[in-house]
Chain A
Amino acid sequence: MDAVFRALADEGRRTLLDRLHARNGQTLNELCEEMDMSRQAVAKHLGILEEANLVVVQWRGREKLHYLNPVPINEIAERWIGKYERNRLAALSALKQALEGDSK
């Protein structure tokens, strides 16, 4: 669990997760596009995300594809969010999104 928090405590790594959330299953080259970071830095961040089990790698032929794995984030959420709170929190979150627009 410490590894998950450490991995999430970096803007660049959160941006990589955002990009996989928008389009799952990308190569290192694809993820490097539009990132203001060297290829080595992106590879290193992906390694930290992979160690925290937030990114999972699968090979498709010769292509190494990166997938967002939200399971550890759900485990953290479940630790502090009860079953009956889930729907109310989802409603609040939807309301916040509607009122604030798509901006993050």
Chain B
Amino acid sequence: MTKATQVYVTYIRSTPEKVWDALTNPEMTRQYWGHSIVSDWNPGSAWSLRRISDPNFSAACGKVVECSRPERLVLTWSKPQDPSVVSRASFDIEKLEDAVRLTVTHDELEPASEMLRGTSRGWPIVLSSLKSLLETGKGLDSDKLFRC
């Protein structure tokens, strides 16, 4: 059966370095993702997305495939309870004149899987929240409204 691919793009008024740090720094991810991302970011190393209230619980985990700051990050992506099912998330950061184009390509997904349903709900929220944090200083966890 063919694996499914999802592509998400957001434009952020920021710099590639700041977007990169927002994706890889646990202090940043907890502000807009509600989880801390943890890794040493060496290719082959493990990474995980840990719940703030319970760091023993990971929402997702995998290995670092490629890590080229500030342009491209590729991760394998699994649920800790089912590490044999492996998908892949690639983050491409492209500098534009006064903004950054961030593309998240999540591929190698099993069609009609719980993972696919989760990522299709999750990525738009995570990316909107990341954009909000970098442009206004507040992630979506804040009750405040923000500009599009």
CB contact under 8 A between A69 and B9, given known A24-B4, A74-B128: yes
Query: Quick check: B143 and A69 within 8 Å, CB to CB?
Result: no
* B128, B132, B143, B146: most-surrounded residue (chain A CB, <10 A): B128
**Nearest Cβ distance between residue B63 and chain A, in whole angstroms?**
23
CB contact list, B27-52 vs A, under 8 A: none
Query: Quick check: A83 and B5 within 8 Å, CB to CB?
Result: no
Among candidates B9, B124, B145, residue contacting A56 with C-beta atoms closer than 8 Å: B9
**Nearest Cβ distance between residue B87 and chain A, in whole angstroms?**
14
CB contact under 8 A between A67 and B140, given known A56-B103, A74-B128, A75-B128: no
CB contact under 8 A between A76 and B124, given known A24-B4, A82-B143, A83-B140: no
- Complex: how many Å from CA A76 to CA B10? 13
Query: Quick check: B9 and A79 within 8 Å, CB to CB?
Result: no
- Grouping DSSP codes into helix (H, G, I), strand (E, B) and loop, the A interface class, with mixed when no group exceeds half, is mixed
- Complex: how many Å from CA A53 to CA B123? 15
- Complex: how many Å from CA A83 to CA B60? 22
Among candidates B7, B147, B148, residue contacting A69 with C-beta atoms closer than 8 Å: B7
Query: Quick check: A83 and B7 within 8 Å, CB to CB?
Result: no
